[in-house]
Amino acid sequence: MAALTAYVILGGADFGGGVLDIVATGSGAPAQRAAVAEAMGPVWEVNHVWLIFVLVATWTCFPVAFANMFTALSVPLIIALAGIVLRGAAFAFRHYAVEAGARAQYMGFVFGAASILTPVFLGDAIGTLVSGSLNPLFAAASPWLRPFPIAIGLFALSLCALLAAVFLTVETHGWLQAVFRRRALIAWLATAVMGVAALGAAYDGAPYMFHALTSGPARPWFAFALGVGLITLWCLVRRRYRAARATAVAQVAAVLWAWAAAQYPYVIVPWLTITAAAAPRQTLLDFLVMTGAGMAVLLPSLWLLFAVFKGNARD
């Protein structure tokens, strides 16, 4: 979960950067794109490694869930993967190409489009897990093509855009900052709309989760996410950008943890519990020890990276 949170926040901001990139319009567009590229530049690679970690951790610790997810959700996962690949190629191309020009523009479009594909389809895949329509015999045709998962996918996309816009308000100033503020407000509105839509769709499409969020054990998380979301809006309106960044991150994290709490104890609602899907005890123990050791090396290194490059945001 922790790794997933990190991925959603950091990787999500990255994807959101792509969204902002593609919607950048007008004479300020090159500057907007430059700001996106500059913010992402040193850290984009690193942000996406979290996804690999989520995959591998799921595989090692919950192999039954992993196998079932990949079998039943193969189509949305393939599309999400295509998005990741195209995005990576387009970004590497744009970042390392020595000259600009028509080709760079075209790759920019690929980059933006791919940035939309992945959050939507990953969100969709997660939505399907929760919806209760993932049948163990895979009899249901395309359970991922229902309203609830699709709403979750779009909700995920708007969260990504929100994160990116908020991060960019902190990293820019002047008229550019104002542009990203406006975008952040629009993104916030989008998350609110999609959030409501997803909740509505959950009434029929994901009853277990709907119940858990509104009257069950996940209610505190739900309320927290709502509350923090409103604070984010306030911070944006009042131009308190650093605070907005903190609350936006908290908001996204809260959404993610609310989802986890709502789905508990299932990995795949309503037939696969966490315990049933888990690996044997020895594996889980070894994995936790290894992760602890790894984090002891990784976290200081990450801190170093962000300190060196995000320290002087005023440059």
**Residues near another protein, by CB under 8 A:** 38, 41-43, 45-46, 48-49, 51-53, 55-57, 59-64, 66-72, 74-75, 77-78, 81-82, 84-86, 88-89, 91-93, 95-99, 138, 279-280, 282-283, 286-287, 290-291, 294, 297-298, 301-302, 304-305, 308-309
Distance CA 44, CA 51 (A): 12
Query: Least CB distance from residue 91 to another protein, whole Å?
Result: 8
Contact 254, 224 (CB under 8 A): yes
Q: What are 280's two structure tokens?
A: 């044997």
Nearer residue to another protein within complex by CB, 100 or 189: 100
What minimum distance in Å lies between the beta carbon of 10 and another protein? 12
* Nearest distance, CB of residue 143 and another protein, angstroms: 12
Q: Which is nearer to another protein, 2 or 305 (CB)?
A: 305
Minimum distance from CB of 231 to another protein (Å)?
32
Instruction: Fill in the DSSP letter of residue 9.
Output: I
**Comparison of 85 and 237: residue with beta carbon closer to another protein:** 85
Alpha helices in the chain (DSSP H): 2-6, 12-23, 29-40, 44-61, 63-72, 74-96, 102-131, 147-171, 175-205, 207-214, 219-237, 241-263, 274-277, 281-310
CB count, 10 Å around CB of 184? 29
Closest separation in Å from C-beta 298 to another protein: 6
Q: Which amino acid is it at 54?
A: V
Q: Which is nearer to another protein, 65 or 130 (CB)?
A: 65
